[in-house]
Structure 1
C-alpha cells in the first residue's frame, strides 16, 4: 500500500496534468480528501538538519549515533529514533561493508568513436532455427559510423576460416585502416 504522502503527490499530478477535479482524482487513488488537503504543522527542523549535514561532512565516518552524541553535547534536544529518522531522510547513511576488491577485474578499453565510414567495424553472430528444426547462424559485420551492414554470412556452421575469409574480402574491397570493436 502506498503512503499517503506519495498518494498526495500522485493526486496533485493527476489534477495538474489530466484536467480532473480534486474529488475525482482522490476517488481514483482511493485517497480521502481530508488527507489530501492536510498540511503538516510539524517543524521541519531545518537548523538541526543543516548542523547534522555539517557534522557528517567534517566527520565522514560518523554514523547517526555519534552525530547524536555530538548534537546532544551542543544542546540539541532530540531522541535517538528522531535522530535516525532525520539522518535517513538526509541520506547520510554509511555503507555497512566496504566492497571487496576483485582480483580478476578486467579493465575494458575505451570504445573507438569513428569519425568517418570504414574506420571501425563491429561483428556479431546470430543463431536461429527454422520451422523444420534446422539451425543456422549468421555473421553480421556492421560499419560503426554509418550503421551500414557490410556483410551478412549465413550458414549452418560458420567456422573461423569463414570469418577470416569474409574479413579479408571486405578489407580487400577498399578499406585501408580498420579497427574492430566488440
Structure 2
C-alpha cells in the first residue's frame, strides 16, 4: 500500500487523496478507503488546502481635485489577445492631474518586478509621485512594490475590493484605450502592439481633446496651467 501510494503521489503531484485512491482501485487493489487514508496521512501526503489572502481593510479615498503633476498617479492592468489567440497584458500608468498617459508595459506576463521597472522608467524623467492609486491585484499587493514605494516615500492608495469606481480616472482611460485602439486593430505580435500603442500615446497626450480638461489635450492643459500660474504670480 505504501509503495502504491508513493508511486501515484510522485507521478501525480497535484492529485489529492480522492483521486489517488481511485487510481489505486483502478490499478486492481481492493483496500478499504479508510485504511488507505490512514496510511496516506501517516506518510504526510495530504495536500494543504489553498487559503485566500486576507487583505487589510481598505479605506475609501474620494477622488479629489489635484493641484499639480505627480500628486497622484494611477495604474491598472488590461488584457487582450493577438490574432492567433495568445493573451497579453498591458500595465497603464497615468497622472491623475492632467490625465497624461505616462507609460505602458506590455508583455504576456507582468509580475511585480516589471511593475517596478515601468515605474522607475517614468520616474527618471518625471520625478516621483506622492501617491499611486491601485486595486488589490497580486502584483500591487506584493512586498517588492511595497518596499520600493517605502524607499521613495510614495503612498500606495488601495481601493476597496470590488469598487473600481474608486479608481475612476484610470478606468475611464482604459475605456478610451480599448475603444480607440485595442478594438480597432488585429495584432499579430507584441511588437505591433507596442508600435501602435506608442503612436496612440503621443496622439492622446498631445492632440486628443479631453472633456475634463476644458477640451484640451493633457500636454496643452498642463502648459495652460503653468502659464496661468506664472501670470498669477
TM-score by length of 2: 0.31
Greater helix content: 2
Could you tell me the TM-score, scaled by structure 1's length? 0.39
Structure showing greater radius of gyration is 1
